[in-house]
Structures are given as C-alpha cells and as structure tokens.
Structure 1
Amino acid sequence: MSVQQTDPLEDILTLVGTTGHLSVGLVAGGEWALSFDPPVAVKFNAVRRGRCLLTVDGVPEPLELAEGDCFLLTQPRAFTLASGPEVRPVPAGPVFEAAVDGRARAGTGEDVIFIGGRFDFGERAQELLLDALPPVIHVPGRTAEAATVRWALDQIDAELRDRPLASKLVTEHLALVLLIRVLRLHLALAGPGSASGWLAGLADPVVAPALGAMHARPAHAWTVAQLAEVAAVSRSTLAARFKHAVGQGPLDYLTGWRIELAADRLRRGDETMAAIAREVGYGSESALSNAFKRITGASPRDYRRRISP
C-alpha cells in the first residue's frame, strides 16, 4: 500500500510552537568553573574551541566536551561547566551579567569558546516532546554523523562574527535547524531506550512508516490492517512493535494525535466544532466531544472557554 507520509517530528515541533534564541557567548581560560541554575527553557551549548567538563544534576557521570561538541539540556536541572573536576564553581549569573560585546568571560585567557542559547515551546511541549527525551543529549562533534550539526554551528558563528543584515533573525532560524538536527542525530545514534513514546517509534523501521501515514492523513479512518500494509508487516507484528516502542496501540495513538490537533485549533482560532470535527477525522461534533472529553477530561467548549483570554 503506497500512501503519503509526513514527518511527525516536524508536525510536533510546529504544533508546540518551537522558537530558538541565542544567548551571550562564553570565553574561558585557565582554571575556571561556572554553576548554572536550572534553566527555565531547553538549553543548548556548543564548544567552538577547547574542551571542558559538563556536570548535570541527576546524571551520574560528568561529560567531557571537546571542540565541536554540543549538548541539549531538556529538563530544568542545574549544571556546571568547568575546566576540570577539582575547580570550585562560582555562580554563572553575575559572570553573564558582566558580559561585554555579547561575551561573558571566566578564568583567564581564551582556551575555551562557547556559543549557546535556548529553545522555547508552547504549553504542550512537556508531554508531547520533552518527556520523551533523556535529561541531557550530548552530540560529539568529531563524528561523520555530526556533519550537519557542525554546518549549522559554522553558519551561526559566521552570522555572529560578521553581523550582516537580519543576522538576529537568521541565527534564530539556524538555532531551530540545529535543534532538529540534534534530535535527528540522537534518534539515529543513541539506540533502543534512548527515547520513549512517539520519538522511540520514529527510530523503529516498522513503526515509523505507520506514524508517518497517520500524521499525513489524521482524518482518514485508519485500520490496523491498513497501517500494517503501509509498514509491510502483519497486523500482529505492527501492533506488538507499536505498543512496545510507543507505549500504546496505533489506533490509540491516532486518537490522541487527533485530539492534539483539535485542541490546537481550539486554542488558535474560532472554527466551529463541526468544522474541527471533520478536519480531525470525526463524523460529528458529538463524536469529537466524546473523544475529547475522554482524553482531556473537558469538553471542547469548556476547553475553549478555559484557554480564551
């Protein structure tokens, strides 16, 4: 069965309203260590020169970061960047408040140079995306697979160095490109157990085609048999692989995604309930209302009233 497929990662990043922002850079040298409070957003840093140690609360072992490496902190955990394990850290806040020309300085010299920033998401990101990821994702920069991440970092460096017209907007878009490529690389390299939910499904060659088909046509009356045909396996194989990877059956996942799409339309516009029901695959307003209340605990009308300004 040949059907159109779309990218669930793109769909969900769009739905949760992902935006990227660069922050003040960091230059460090000699013996130095900075302690950072738990970030309110998803944090990323990339080492453009030198090497250092990253320690994250709740992660047993420190990570050695080399030139070209980057990391993504997906949970609000305190962390430390340091030249070595024995250096006593100082709070990073005052160091960054004293930044000059977009760069904060720690220690003496310029042994290590970082660029960094944050990613902001909408209200559904925690459950849909962040809970499916480990607390820290480390991407080694000197591997062939990380070439696309290095490309994004090089482009960001060039924009920050030369400051051409609209450089702020360009760097924010490049930061989003960086996020997508880091997530792709994480899924490709980290192996089983490195993600959960739909992200784990994207890493499974049997489950991924079924996910792509459902995201391409969420309003279609999919059956497990049709999805199994898309994945070129038996119904029982698809059902078992899908449940193992994603944590729920394919049709339960489809129902949940339809409700996410309906909730997004309720938040963003004034479409009628009947129109939204048709768009997300329900034959009537009452059918949507029943499913929506079963999943969210509120009727679509109550949900819309609650989130309206």
Structure 2
Amino acid sequence: MDVVSDAVNTIRAGRPHSARTHMTAPWGLRFPALPGAGFHVVLQGSCWLLPPEGGEPVALSSGDVVFVSHGAEIALASHPDSPLEVVTRDMDDAWGPVERDAAAGTTVLICGSYQLDSARLHPVLATLPPFIHLPKRVGHHDSLSAVVDLLGSELDRRRPGADAVIPTLLDAMLLYILRGWYADQAARTATGWAAALADPAVSTALQLIHREPARAWTVEQLGRHAGLSRAAFARRFAALVGQPPLAYLTWWRMTAAGHLLRQSDTPLRAIAEQTGYTSEFAFNRAFKREYGTTPGNYRRQRMTEASAIA
C-alpha cells in the first residue's frame, strides 16, 4: 500500500453517500457540518462556493470539484447573496431539496459525503485546508474528470449494478482528489507532506514503512534504500514529515493496529506480529502508551460505539 491509500483506508467508516441535483436560479444550499468529509461537483452550469467562517466566495464552473476536508459547514448558491436553504440527507442517498427538472440556465451538481473515522487522522489528511477547489482545466486532473463523468452517468440513470459501482467511483474520486491536490502543492512548496510525497528519498522510505510496517527498520537501512547517508536521510525525513523516521514508524504501527482492532476480529497476537512486535505483552504496553488504554478495552469501546450508531 502507498501512503495516501493507507491514510484513507485506516479512517474509512461505512459507505459514502451522493446524489445528483438540478438547480435553477435563484437558489442557495447550506450544507451543515458533518463528521466526515464532503464533496461537490459542478456537472453543468456554474455557481458560487461560500466557504466556512465567512471566507471570500469562489466562482465554480462546469467540471470543478470542491472537497470539504474536515466536514465544515459550507454553502453553494447561484449568487453570493442568494437566500440559503438547509440541506438534509435521507438514508437512500436522496439529498433535499427535491431534484428539479433540467432547464436552460440550470446548474447540475453532484453532492455527497464520506463517512470517516477521524479519531486518528493521518497527517496526509489532517493537514489539508478546510476546503480544496480543483478547477477543471484541459490536460489537468484528467483522471479525476473521467471519474466524475462516470459518476454523473451512474447517478443520472440507476442501472443494474449501480449500488456497487457508485461507492467504488466515490472512493476512486477521493483518491484522485488527494492525488491532484498534492501534485499541485508539490509544485508550489518545498516543505510539508506535499514535498515529502514528491521527494524521491523520503517517498521511498515512506513506501517501505507502509509496505512492511512489521520489519525492524533502522534509520540506516531506510537511508540506504533512499540513497542517502544515515544523517542526511534523518534530517530530510524529519524536515518534511515532521518527525524522525522511527517515530513515524511507531506512530504508523499503532495507527494500523487501531484500525485492525476497530474493523476486524483479528487476534491480538496476530495484530502484534503484523505491526512489528515480538510478543503480545510488548504490543499491549506500546498500545497503552499511545492510546491510554489496552488493545482489548479499545476494541470493546469501539464496538460499543459502532453498535450505538447502528
């Protein structure tokens, strides 16, 4: 697994929701805050994004994608001064207000949300801005545009297999959004996770850690694979990732362990082995130091929370 895929997989919680909506001016929709992340795609026409906390309105055109990283409240409207109607969502993916007939000047939107468990958010996601705007440009983010076109087609006509296809397309769209954002940022900045993912040496080390978290990595081994001396590699990794290589390795092991405890009934001994601990006792001690509770208690607490939500 690569870093971005792992970051998404460890916090995914349930299936995403989405719906296609036709709006004819004047209109305005306020999307309340949610525990996951939201997304909005303009399939046809144009509108305005009204960001959280009174930020400047952003003009959106056909093909533009907006990703609301941390589920903040935002609004979309035909004009920045349009009255706003609060959106509600039913479990059958029907977003209100009721879909309206297409007409000249209509704006067609795909709006939806991802259910994410943000209890231990990977910095690839935690450091994202409140919202991301990926405008459609020729030759730019072509893969994301292709997924958006497929998603619009599936939502427009619910054909056999749609219940399996749509969540898969939504998951792919999330990864393409993150890929596009980090590719854009890497061209603008020499620091942070955008630079870390683009840096050949640091990216190589991150891939190795995520591919083999149970391996007893040393800084010297990671540096050798990255093509740098131990000292040079340690400095570069810490500067871009924000923590030393072995500290990140431990953090990722514990994050992966928490995910396995939440999402599976894998025995504790097996989880310990998968995350690089030679004994269940050593794993329990490390886990309690990181989470403040034992793995068994953590699993029971998360199962209780999941049952209460269901």
Out of 15, 27, 36, the position equivalent to 2:31 is 36
Deviates more, 1:215-224 or 1:60-69: 60-69
**Correspondence for 1:74:** 69
| Cα distance change on mapping 1:304 and 1:21 into 2, 3 Å | closer
| Cα distance change on mapping 1:97 and 1:154 into 2, 3 Å | closer
In the TM superposition, residue 19 of structure 1 has moved relative to its aligned partner by 5.1
Q: Which amino acid aligns with 1:119?
A: Y
In the TM superposition, residue 37 of structure 1 has moved relative to its aligned partner by 2.2
| Cα distance change on mapping 1:20 and 1:195 into 2, 3 Å | farther
Would you say the 8 A contact 1:46–1:116 is kept in 2? yes
| Cα distance change on mapping 1:210 and 1:10 into 2, 3 Å | same
| Cα distance change on mapping 1:145 and 1:12 into 2, 3 Å | same
Would you say the 8 A contact 2:36–2:117 is kept in 1? no
Q: Which amino acid aligns with 2:166?
A: T
**Correspondence for 1:7:** 2
For residues 25 and 177 of structure 2, the distance between their equivalents in structure 1, rounded to whole angstroms, comes to 30
In the TM superposition, residue 129 of structure 1 has moved relative to its aligned partner by 5.4
| Cα distance change on mapping 1:20 and 1:146 into 2, 3 Å | farther
Matched, 1:92 2:91: no
For residues 32 and 190 of structure 2, the distance between their equivalents in structure 1, rounded to whole angstroms, comes to 25
> Counterparts of 1:165-184 in structure 2 under 5 Å?
165-184=160-179
Would you say the 8 A contact 1:134–1:195 is kept in 2? no
**Correspondence for 1:287:** 282
| Cα distance change on mapping 1:243 and 1:41 into 2, 3 Å | same
**Correspondence for 1:65:** 60
Out of 221, 231, 234, the position equivalent to 1:239 is 234
Q: Deviations over 1:103-153 (max 9, x none)?
A: 2579x8543211121111235464565422111011111241211111001
Gaps of 5+ in 1: 1-5
Q: Which amino acid aligns with 2:19?
A: V
**Correspondence for 1:3:** none
- What secondary structure, in the 3-state scheme, does the structure 2 residue paired with 1:23 have? strand
Deviates more, 1:177-186 or 1:272-281: 272-281
- What secondary structure, in the 3-state scheme, does the structure 1 residue paired with 2:76 have? strand
Would you say the 8 A contact 2:12–2:117 is kept in 1? yes
Provide the aligned C-alpha RMSD in A. Answer: 2.8
- What secondary structure, in the 3-state scheme, does the structure 1 residue paired with 2:183 have? helix
Out of 112, 119, 135, the position equivalent to 2:130 is 135
Out of 110, 113, 127, the position equivalent to 1:115 is 110
In the TM superposition, residue 48 of structure 1 has moved relative to its aligned partner by 1.0
Q: Which amino acid aligns with 1:97?
A: G
For residues 272 and 280 of structure 1, the distance between their equivalents in structure 2, rounded to whole angstroms, comes to 13
Q: Deviations over 1:222-267 (max 9, x none)?
A: 0111111121122222212221222111100111111122223333
Q: Which amino acid aligns with 2:284?
A: S
- What secondary structure, in the 3-state scheme, does the structure 1 residue paired with 2:59 have? strand
**Correspondence for 1:256:** 251
The TM-score normalised by the length of structure 2 is 0.85
Matched, 1:161 2:156: yes
- What secondary structure, in the 3-state scheme, does the structure 2 residue paired with 1:114 have? strand
**Correspondence for 1:216:** 211
Gaps of 5+ in 2: 90-94, 305-310
- What secondary structure, in the 3-state scheme, does the structure 2 residue paired with 1:61 have? coil
- What secondary structure, in the 3-state scheme, does the structure 2 residue paired with 1:283 have? coil
- What secondary structure, in the 3-state scheme, does the structure 2 residue paired with 1:97 have? coil
- What secondary structure, in the 3-state scheme, does the structure 2 residue paired with 1:13 have? helix
For residues 196 and 203 of structure 2, the distance between their equivalents in structure 1, rounded to whole angstroms, comes to 6
Would you say the 8 A contact 2:77–2:84 is kept in 1? no
Matched, 1:188 2:188: no
Q: Which amino acid aligns with 2:50?
A: T
Would you say the 8 A contact 1:26–1:115 is kept in 2? yes
Out of 45, 49, 62, the position equivalent to 1:50 is 45
In the TM superposition, residue 168 of structure 1 has moved relative to its aligned partner by 2.7
For residues 242 and 215 of structure 2, the distance between their equivalents in structure 1, rounded to whole angstroms, comes to 22
Would you say the 8 A contact 1:30–1:109 is kept in 2? no
The TM-score normalised by the length of structure 1 is 0.85
For residues 93 and 303 of structure 1, the distance between their equivalents in structure 2, rounded to whole angstroms, comes to 35
For residues 61 and 204 of structure 1, the distance between their equivalents in structure 2, rounded to whole angstroms, comes to 33
Matched, 1:205 2:204: no
